[in-house]
Homo-oligomer: A and B are copies of this chain.
Amino acid sequence: MISQMARWVFGQRMETSRLQEEKLSVFWGMPILSSDAISSVAYAVEEILLVLVPVLGAVSFIWMPRIAGIIIVLMAILITSYRQVVDTYPRGGGAYIVAKENLSPLAGLVAGASLCVDYTLTVAVSICAGVAAITSAVPGLHIYRVDISVIFILLLLIGNVRGIRESARIFSLPTYAFIIAIISLVVAGLVQRAHGIPLAASPFPASEPVSWTTHAVLIFLLLRAFASGCSAVTGIEAISNAVPNFKEPAGRNAKIVYVLLALSILICFGGVAYLAYLFKTVPDPRQTVIAQLSLLIFGQGAMFYFIQATTALILAMAANTAFAGFPTLLSIMAQDGYAPRQMALRGHRLNFNNGITILTILAIILVIVFEADTHLLIGLYAIGVFTSFTLSQTGMLIRWLRLKTPGWHYKAFINGLGAVTTFVAAAIIGVTKFTEGAWIVFVVVPLIVLVMLRIKRHYQSVAEQLDIPNEALSQIQLAPAYAHHVIVPIDSLNAMVVKALRYARTLTNNVAAFHVEPYEGEADKLVRKWTMLNTDIPLVVKQSPYREVIGPLKEYIDSEEHASQPGDVITVLLPQFFVAKWWQMSLHNNTSLFIANALF
């Protein structure tokens, strides 16, 4: 019944041959892979204001649009650069592969580890921001935000275990709905301002004492606001990583999606930033900036709730991007031996279920530890993504400089520009956000890299031990040239033991039964019964004053080993009976299991 329920929740299993069918068209691929970047509209503007407003007050609205403009330019550079990555790596060009191939395996690992951290944060941040959209509409739910976030993550787990295409269908339409909702909001807001409808109330007192600060502090503040805003471009990697998931022509489709993504970010992020500038919205922990704008422009009506709902849904979809990206990245690294091999196994619906499960667990831990607070999580965010951006773009630059393929000057310029801008952004984020949580990433990423190196070393050493060169294959002798002793440890003489002895005799004529006697005379009954048995199998009885079985058995095996030829085989055959129900196992001493463990 449990397995039937699991089938119903997670879907019927699929044949390996259906892997091909699960590919994405542009229409489905766009929402599933770019929702992360688009959805950041929901919090990126707010995060910029959260840095500026407490210090600069009304002056913030002079700086905010400029910072948003810089971020849009950064986004444009990145997308142009990444379109080149798609061209060059049609089989999936994540930062890990690009850095590994063009720089060094270690650079690839750093990029991969950074991305793993950021995929996890994407899930946590997006879900928390999505729940913030819900609690902005229904304030009574605010105290349940952690629980709601965890439930959303579990729903994503189910959706993703069900399979790529179906999860796209479940989640993709809200992305379009969100884009439409934001465009409506921007258009309505612009129309309203054009008609000169006055603001309901100015958020700042008329004669507010703006706390002017020194020049250096102002610059630091603006850089920090920029760093916070960089969370808007975090989803761009996903598309180039997932090129093989697209329908053919995969590269062209992926590049089209990149253009659509650039347009969407431009309209949505730019539009919301401009609205926030026009309406001078001040961040409020109880209501998001988008919710405030919707209220001001549409009032508390259907449109307000529609915008909150689509915001929540696209943020869930953004988390879903990570659910597509993280397991794929991990499976690629597992194929290279840097992650446990199981990460490269496809589940019953052809997905990488192990990676999906790990991502779920990590994201839930983050949500609980940070109490579903988007702003606290943002401190850790973006630094990992920009590290991997930098490594990937640097890798591409080196590639063009080395290969010098036709048109390499232009390509090197694009990726070089990308490398420089992302490096600068990464440095800004690392410095200005260090104390706000980025330091955790600086600790965790090297740790992950270390673990991955150890995993690789383990696989290498195992492979060295197991590998047989083809030339050596014909030399291998498989014919039996050894004598074979079988030792059967027994507790008493019963039907199970008789079966075991009978089996032992089909293996070899050289069988011995072995019994441990915890106190004088305990074995007398067994010895008596043994003599009634019509067999030549000897019964060996050893004393064990301390009531343990394994020591005397080991001694006996050692003595047998001394008596045998080198290369002879000794098998310890442990009689074990199996019970019908699991709890009945606990009713038996299970000495066999202990012996088996000890002998291993």
Q: Tell me the nearest residue of chain B to A347, going by C-beta.
A: B547
> In the complex, how many angstroms separate the beta carbon of A452 from the nearest chain B beta carbon?
11
Judged by a CB distance under 8 angstroms, whether A569 is at the interface is yes
Indicate if the CB atoms of A546 and B473 lie closer than 8 Å.
no
- How far apart are the CA atoms of A494 and B484 in the complex, in Å? 23
Judged by a CB distance under 8 angstroms, whether A144 is at the interface is no
Indicate if the CB atoms of A505 and B518 lie closer than 8 Å.
no
Judged by a CB distance under 8 angstroms, whether A3 is at the interface is no
Which residues on B sit within 8 Å (CB–CB) of A140?
Answer: none
Indicate if the CB atoms of A484 and B507 lie closer than 8 Å.
yes
> In the complex, how many angstroms separate the beta carbon of A491 from the nearest chain B beta carbon?
10
- How far apart are the CA atoms of A14 and B17 in the complex, in Å? 63
- How far apart are the CA atoms of A465 and B480 in the complex, in Å? 37
Indicate if the CB atoms of A468 and B519 lie closer than 8 Å.
no
Judged by a CB distance under 8 angstroms, whether A143 is at the interface is no
- How far apart are the CA atoms of A77 and B372 in the complex, in Å? 66
Judged by a CB distance under 8 angstroms, whether A404 is at the interface is no
Binary interface profile of A, 456-495, with partner B (CB < 8 Å = 1, else 0)?
0011001001111010011111111010100000000111
User: Interface stretch among A287-295, A359-367, A410-418, A532-540?
Assistant: A532-540
Indicate if the CB atoms of A577 and B546 lie closer than 8 Å.
no
Judged by a CB distance under 8 angstroms, whether A501 is at the interface is yes
Indicate if the CB atoms of B534 and A505 lie closer than 8 Å.
no
> In the complex, how many angstroms separate the beta carbon of A515 from the nearest chain B beta carbon?
16
Judged by a CB distance under 8 angstroms, whether A502 is at the interface is yes
Binary interface profile of A, 366-384, with partner B (CB < 8 Å = 1, else 0)?
0000000000000000000
Judged by a CB distance under 8 angstroms, whether A348 is at the interface is yes
Judged by a CB distance under 8 angstroms, whether A406 is at the interface is no
- How far apart are the CA atoms of A535 and B494 in the complex, in Å? 40
Which residues on B sit within 8 Å (CB–CB) of A346?
Answer: 547
Judged by a CB distance under 8 angstroms, whether A345 is at the interface is yes
Q: How many interface residues does chain A have, given as a range?
A: 35 or more
Judged by a CB distance under 8 angstroms, whether A506 is at the interface is yes
Q: A466-B495, A518-B16, A588-B341 are in contact. Are A534 and B474 (CB under 8 A)?
A: yes
Q: A502-B478, A506-B569, A533-B474 are in contact. Are A340 and B587 (CB under 8 A)?
A: yes
Binary interface profile of A, 534-574, with partner B (CB < 8 Å = 1, else 0)?
11010000000111000000000000000000000100000
Judged by a CB distance under 8 angstroms, whether A214 is at the interface is no
Judged by a CB distance under 8 angstroms, whether A7 is at the interface is no
> In the complex, how many angstroms separate the beta carbon of A347 from the nearest chain B beta carbon?
8
- Within the complex, which residue of B15, B341, B505, B584 is in contact with A587, where a contact is CB–CB below 8 Å? B341
> In the complex, how many angstroms separate the beta carbon of A473 from the nearest chain B beta carbon?
4
- How far apart are the CA atoms of A340 and B16 in the complex, in Å? 47
- How far apart are the CA atoms of A345 and B519 in the complex, in Å? 13
Q: Tell me the nearest residue of chain B to A342, going by C-beta.
A: B589
Which residues on B sit within 8 Å (CB–CB) of A589?
Answer: 341-342, 345
Which residues on B sit within 8 Å (CB–CB) of A478?
Answer: 498, 501-502, 505, 533-535, 537
Judged by a CB distance under 8 angstroms, whether A578 is at the interface is yes
- Within the complex, which residue of B348, B529, B545, B584 is in contact with A15, where a contact is CB–CB below 8 Å? B545
Judged by a CB distance under 8 angstroms, whether A13 is at the interface is yes
> In the complex, how many angstroms separate the beta carbon of A17 from the nearest chain B beta carbon?
7
Judged by a CB distance under 8 angstroms, whether A76 is at the interface is no
Which residues on B sit within 8 Å (CB–CB) of A496?
Answer: 466
Which residues on B sit within 8 Å (CB–CB) of A577?
Answer: 462, 465-466
Q: Identify the interface centre among A13, A475, A502, A508: most chain B CB within 10 Å of its CB.
A: A502
> In the complex, how many angstroms separate the beta carbon of A63 from the nearest chain B beta carbon?
50
Q: Identify the interface centre among A478, A534, A546, A569: most chain B CB within 10 Å of its CB.
A: A478
> In the complex, how many angstroms separate the beta carbon of A164 from the nearest chain B beta carbon?
16
- How far apart are the CA atoms of A348 and B548 in the complex, in Å? 9
Indicate if the CB atoms of B479 and A467 lie closer than 8 Å.
no
Q: A341-B587, A577-B462, A587-B458 are in contact. Are A495 and B467 (CB under 8 A)?
A: yes
Which residues on B sit within 8 Å (CB–CB) of A505?
Answer: 478-480
Q: Tell me the nearest residue of chain B to A544, going by C-beta.
A: B16
- How far apart are the CA atoms of A342 and B593 in the complex, in Å? 14
Which residues on B sit within 8 Å (CB–CB) of A475?
Answer: 534
> In the complex, how many angstroms separate the beta carbon of A29 from the nearest chain B beta carbon?
24
Judged by a CB distance under 8 angstroms, whether A503 is at the interface is yes
Judged by a CB distance under 8 angstroms, whether A455 is at the interface is yes
Q: A16-B546, A340-B586, A600-B578 are in contact. Are A506 and B480 (CB under 8 A)?
A: yes
Which residues on B sit within 8 Å (CB–CB) of A534?
Answer: 473-476, 478
Q: Tell me the nearest residue of chain B to A13, going by C-beta.
A: B546
Indicate if the CB atoms of B493 and A529 lie closer than 8 Å.
no
Which residues on B sit within 8 Å (CB–CB) of A529?
Answer: 470, 473
> In the complex, how many angstroms separate the beta carbon of A334 from the nearest chain B beta carbon?
10
Give A189-232 interface residues, CB cut-off 8 Å to B.
none
Indicate if the CB atoms of A587 and B459 lie closer than 8 Å.
yes
Which residues on B sit within 8 Å (CB–CB) of A477?
Answer: 502
16 CB contacts below 8 A, A to B, read A15-B545, A15-B546, A16-B545, A341-B587, A346-B547, A455-B587, A458-B587, A466-B496, A473-B493, A475-B534, A476-B498, A476-B535, A478-B534, A484-B506, A484-B507, A507-B508
By Cβ-Cβ distance, the 6 closest A-B pairs, closest first, are A466-B494, A15-B545, A473-B532, A16-B519, A480-B506, A478-B535
Question: What residues make up the interface of A, taking CB atoms closer than 8 Å to B?
Answer: 13-17, 340-342, 345-346, 348, 455, 458-459, 462, 465-468, 470, 473-480, 482, 484, 493-496, 498, 501-503, 505-508, 518-520, 529, 532-535, 537, 545-547, 569, 577-579, 584, 586-589, 600
